[in-house]
Amino acid sequence: MSSVIHTRIAGTGKYRADGVLTNHDLEKMVDTNDTWIRERTGIRERRIALPGVYTSTMASAALKEALDAAGMQPGALDMIICGTVTPDMPLPATAAFVQRQIGASGNCPSFDISAACAGFIYGLSIADAFIRTGKIRTAAVIGTEMLTRFMDFEDRNTCVLFGDGAGAVVVTADHDGRGILSTHLFTDGSLTDILQIPGGGSKEPASAETVAQKRHCIQMEGREVFKVAVRYLSEAAETALSTNGKKPEDVQLVAAHQANMRILSAVSKRVSIPIERFALNLESYGNTSSASIPISLDEAVRAGRVNDNDLVLMIALGGGISWGSALIRW
Ligand code: ACO
């Protein structure tokens, strides 16, 4: 037992949305086809939350599973962080709703992180900093997104890509040398224009006009995002490994943000980690933004793919452009 504090993942959980939208369903909605979507993205179907389910209720369900897995009660939480760009509403934070829904302590600071698909890694890094400095002991980090409610289902460039869902981890202070070894966060603000929800904020306040023009829906220059994603995700993975003196072959599992199979295949080749080591679920979930890492991590953990002392690498990139990596000794 060392005096050095590490942040260990004590439990994982997820919310799998109940509705399913297949590529064949989309063929009836926009000018697209199953072959194009599968070959260009790797997606076969995506999950859609049913009416009455919100970003916070998905997050709470995922967090309850993570608390159960950790053998903890909501009262153990000192902080709740939600990575989301699709909150229940602009004010208050989705995390505040989660606090109430799960019955955590009213003294538990609860706030959202806006880093798009990198929101979960940003949240993990913040929780890690609070835990390692001894300010808190235990935190919930959640990625929760309901992108289908910010989608123009007449825009084939975006509507075939995204799905709904939430994933959560409970992290806690540990002294046996395992846990988060490092996190690295990056933002390139010169690329704000290539991935946006332009309307509904202070720049373009919601009006009949912004709604008619679907300015509250996600807009993306897919080709540009693709190019930077391959480069920045690979660099973030390499930074995580070199910082810790690790080699690609040391990594047992990669929990990567899943936007496109071709991005992940290219990253896998660049960083020399076989794609078989990636926890993949893009085919059936679509791009769930900040939720994709904690959902795929939870599935890998429950499938018995992660063992004590395994090295787990996380990488994500999204709007901002914001990206990052985390390396964890499980
Ligand atoms: N069905 C059929 N054809 C389509 C579709 C569709 N759904 N969408 C586009 N096309 C057409 C285009 O119009 C174009 O036709 P043209 O050649 O006649 O002009 C052709 O297919 C090729 O279009 P590209 O945009 O070049 O296709 P690309 O191979 O780049 O794939 C995609 C597009 C899937 C969006 C890809 O660029 C991508 O995955 N980008 C990254 C997305 C991403 O990483 N997002 C992460 C962040 S998300 C977040 O932060 C919330």
pLDDT of residue 66: 98
- Rounded (10°) angle between helices 94-102 and 55-70: 50
Catalytic residue, candidates 6, 23, 82, 117:
117
Look up residue 304 and give its amino acid: G
Whole-angstrom distance, CA of residue 177 vs CA of residue 91: 39
CA distance from start to end of the chain: 16
Q: Which atom of ligand 1 is nearest to the CA of 160?
A: 7
pLDDT of residue 1: 64
Q: Which atom of ligand 1 is nearest to the CA of 41?
A: 34
Q: How far is the CA of 161 from the centre of ligand 1 (A)?
A: 9
Per-residue pLDDT of 49-71, as tens digits, reads: 999 999 999 999 999 999 999 99
Per-residue pLDDT of 257-273, as tens digits, reads: 999 999 999 999 999 99
Those residues whose C-beta lies under 8 Å from the C-beta of residue 278, and which sit 6 or more positions away, are 253, 254, 255, 256, 264, 268
pLDDT of residue 177: 87
Phi/psi at 173 (5° precision): -65, 140
- A 10 A CB-CB count for 216 gives 18
Mutate to test the pocket of ligand 1, among 34, 39, 40 (most ligand atoms within 8 A of CB): 40
Mutate to test the pocket of ligand 1, among 223, 231, 262, 315 (most ligand atoms within 8 A of CB): 223
Among residues 312, 267, 277, 307, the alpha carbon closest in space to that of 294 is found at: 312
Look up residue 263 and give its amino acid: I
Global model pTM greater than 0.95:
yes
Q: What is the 3-state secondary structure (H, E, C) of 42-73?
A: CCCEEEECCCCCCHHHHHHHHHHHHHHHHCCC
Could you give the percent of the chain with pLDDT greater than 90?
A: 98
Q: Which residue, by CA, sits nearest to atom 7 of ligand 1?
A: 156
Task: Flag whether pLDDT at 180 surpasses 80.
Answer: yes
Q: What is the mean pLDDT of residues 288-299?
A: 98
Helix %, strand %, coil % of the chain (to 5): 40, 25, 35
Quick check: 236 and 186 in contact, CB under 8 A? Answer: yes
Per-residue pLDDT of 141-178, as tens digits, reads: 999 999 999 999 999 999 999 999 999 999 999 998 89
Residue 141's SS3 state is strand
Whose structure tokens read 């930074």?
Answer: 239
Catalytic residue, candidates 6, 184, 216, 257:
257
